């Protein structure tokens, strides 16, 4: 036996209102004419009857499909950046939009094909996400489709974008050290040419110089931001005659290497050496002993912001692009103490 799907007229009858009123209540329109009690009564009736709006018909009326594209380069396969997808999904769902995701591995041709495929499905806008903070150009394939950049930005600010506040996060973790009395703060970082490395390094140099200390003898740069190279770099830094009393690590993986090097040299964290880092990866920072103080990358918050900004641009196509720095809060644990 086929069950007949409830219609809008059925919802209106159950709620004791006209079909037009039921439509405006369910479609978030006519807010000035419909009281909150009436709106809630209509929604309750729709939920009880199992009514689902005809999105195709709505799209013909509003010229919107209630669908957003999410194009990422390896974001889907990056564990800690998966929170960007979750943030974008939650913001889209709360606004009544469906998020359609495509991962392109950063290939330009594949990215253009993905954008074209989404446009063929009449998506309302696109979020372009990168695996890590980058300066990019908006692909030509975007054309006139509303677009927001996530964990990326353009050099000229021509597109709305959100990236982590790398400088603010670095100042935050360094303040944990200087607040405890440290001035000789070493830095173990990578030579990789990425935005995060450049900003964190420049901010560290500035802050250590402000403490009246030459930063250069306290710097170790290695090829990649791995645990093994973090360990090797820390061995070199901590074996110097006038070693630092604290170390700022480029990321949590390198901090793992610093912990290992300190243990091999007989240095206790935080009694003999304080350590802070960046990323606050949930499988590393809280799991180290003692727990690692680290600046958190706000992936979830950035994902939410990107979708909210895209929806704003859908409502106001002439709005000026916004470049947003998302704060990187410090997750305080037990890796910092006063210098001995």
pLDDT value, residue 1: 43
pLDDT value, residue 152: 94
Q: Do 212 and 273 reside in the same domain of the chain? A: yes
Q: Do 97 and 186 reside in the same domain of the chain? A: no
CATH of the domain at 259: 3.40.50.2300
Range with the poorest average pLDDT among 101-110, 220-229, 240-249, 291-300: 101-110
Q: Do 289 and 322 reside in the same domain of the chain? A: no
Which positions ≥6 away from 30 have C-beta within 8 Å? 21, 24
pLDDT value, residue 79: 66
* Average of per-residue pLDDT across 40-54: 81
Q: Mapping DSSP to helix (H, G, I), strand (E, B) and coil, where does residue 268 land?
A: coil
Domain housing 292: 166-297
Q: Do 311 and 226 reside in the same domain of the chain? A: no
Q: Do 273 and 187 reside in the same domain of the chain? A: yes
Range with the poorest average pLDDT among 8-17, 196-205, 212-221, 295-304: 8-17
Is 339 a member of any domain? no
C-alpha gyration radius of the chain: 26
Q: Do 144 and 185 reside in the same domain of the chain? A: no
Q: Do 124 and 88 reside in the same domain of the chain? A: yes
pLDDT value, residue 31: 47
Is 60 a member of any domain? no
Is 198 a member of any domain? yes
pLDDT value, residue 60: 44
Q: Which residue has the tokens 């170390």?
A: 247
Among 259, 276, 297, give the residue marking a domain's end.
297
Tell me how crowded residue 321 is: count the other CB atoms within 10 A of its CB: 17
pLDDT value, residue 38: 86
CATH of the domain at 49: 1.10.260.40
Q: Residue 86: enclosing H or E segment and its boundaries?
A: helix 82-94
Q: Among residues of the chain, what percentage have pLDDT more than 90? A: 70
Q: Do 48 and 110 reside in the same domain of the chain? A: no
Which positions ≥6 away from 307 have C-beta within 8 Å? 68, 87, 88, 91, 92, 95, 97, 99, 127, 148
Mean of all residue pLDDT scores within the chain: 90
- Res. 52: pLDDT tops 90: no
Q: Do 138 and 191 reside in the same domain of the chain? A: no
* Average of per-residue pLDDT across 248-277: 97
pLDDT value, residue 3: 54
Is 197 a member of any domain? yes
pLDDT value, residue 303: 96
Q: Mapping DSSP to helix (H, G, I), strand (E, B) and coil, where does residue 224 land?
A: coil
* Average of per-residue pLDDT across 173-198: 96
Q: 37: which strand partners?
A: none
Tell me how crowded residue 145 is: count the other CB atoms within 10 A of its CB: 14
Is 159 a member of any domain? yes
The pair of structure tokens assigned to 160 is 């709305």
Q: Do 75 and 116 reside in the same domain of the chain? A: yes
Q: Do 116 and 176 reside in the same domain of the chain? A: no
pLDDT value, residue 82: 82
Q: Do 170 and 261 reside in the same domain of the chain? A: yes
Range with the poorest average pLDDT among 31-35, 47-51, 105-109: 31-35
C-alpha closest to that of 84 among 103, 108, 107, 109: 103
| Tally of domains within the chain | 3
Is 114 a member of any domain? yes
* Average of per-residue pLDDT across 242-271: 97
pLDDT value, residue 4: 66
The pair of structure tokens assigned to 192 is 């990789």
The model's pTM: 0.81
- Res. 326: pLDDT tops 90: yes
Among 277, 297, 317, give the residue marking a domain's end.
297
pLDDT value, residue 47: 84
Is 127 a member of any domain? yes
Is 153 a member of any domain? yes
C-alpha closest to that of 264 among 235, 293, 229: 235
């Amino acid at each position: 036996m086929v069950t007949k799907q409830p219609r809008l007229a059925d919802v209106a009858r159950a709620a004791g209102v006209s079909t037009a009123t039921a439509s405006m209540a369910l479609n978030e329109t006519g807010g000035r004419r419909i009281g909150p009690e009436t709106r809630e009564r209509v929604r309750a009736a729709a939920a009880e009857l199992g009514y689902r709006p005809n999105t195709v018909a709505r799209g013909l009326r509003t010229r919107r499909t209630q669908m957003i594209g999410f194009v990422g380069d390896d974001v889907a396969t990056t564990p800690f950046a998966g929170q960007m997808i979750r943030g974008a999904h939650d913001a889209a769902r709360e606004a009544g939009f469906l998020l359609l995701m495509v991962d392109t591995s950063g290939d330009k041709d594949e990215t253009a094909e993905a954008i074209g495929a989404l446009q063929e499905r009449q998506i309302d806008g696109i979020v372009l996400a990168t695996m890590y903070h980058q300066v990019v150009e908006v692909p030509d394939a975007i054309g006139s489709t509303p677009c927001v950049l996530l964990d990326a930005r353009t050099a000229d600010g021509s597109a709305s974008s959100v990236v982590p506040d790398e400088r603010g996060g670095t100042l935050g973790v360094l303040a944990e050290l200087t607040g405890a009395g440290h001035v000789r703060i070493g830095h173990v970082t990578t030579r990789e040419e990425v935005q995060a490395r450049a900003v964190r390094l420049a901010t560290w140099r500035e802050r250590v110089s402000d403490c009246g200390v030459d930063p250069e003898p306290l710097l170790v740069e290695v090829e990649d931001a791995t645990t093994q190279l973090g360990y090797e770099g820390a061995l070199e830094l901590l074996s110097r005659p006038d070693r630092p009393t604290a170390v700022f690590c480029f990321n949590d993986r390198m901090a793992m290497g610093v912990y290992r090097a300190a243990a091999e040299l007989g240095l206790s964290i935080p009694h003999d050496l304080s350590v802070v880092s960046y990323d606050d990866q949930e499988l590393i920072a809280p799991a180290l002993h003692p727990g690692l103080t680290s600046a958190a990358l706000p992936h979830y918050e950035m994902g939410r912001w990107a979708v909210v900004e895209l929806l704003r641009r859908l409502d106001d196509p002439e709005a000026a692009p916004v470049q947003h720095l998302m704060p990187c809060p410090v997750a305080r644990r037990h890796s910092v103490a006063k210098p001995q």
